[in-house]
Structure 1
Amino acid sequence: AMRYVGQVATPTLVLHGGNDTRVPVSQGWEMYNALKTMGVPTKMVVYPREPHGIGEYHHQRDLLERVLGWFDQYVKG
């Protein structure tokens, strides 16, 4: 993904598990920082204790609320 990050203009919400062993959280931060530097609207949320899939109920709820809010802001207008 970092290879093409220079072509990204779409507002991006990065949601990441803090204990993700499949995609290290450092890669999420790398994407976030690159997009921020380019002026792309972006937000990074890290869920502590979570692996690649978000499993804790309160984290799932938070994730869904953030996604809906993001869609309201950037898709619905």
Structure 2
Amino acid sequence: MLCRDFLYLCRKLNIMAEEQKYDHDSINELLSWAKETLNNKRYPVGEFQLDKCAKILDCEKYLDSMILVIGKNWGEPYVLPDS
């Protein structure tokens, strides 16, 4: 369910169409969604296959680490949106 919701939100925000299309509002909305999902514990329990090559073993730790990585690197030029 988490993967489906994540991909739906990405398509809705049009942030997966092209890497250059990221903007500040899209990133903030995605981060807010991830934090809400983490806080409400609405993520899969146990492991699940993200795609052909990636398996998430602990969704809570995965979401938490992705939020921390994006938050820590947000001011870096290689992370900033193009807009």
Tell me the TM-score range normalised by the shorter chain. Answer: 0.3 to 0.5
TM-score of the superposed pair, with normalisation by structure 2: 0.33
- Higher fraction of helix: 2
TM-score of the superposed pair, with normalisation by structure 1: 0.34
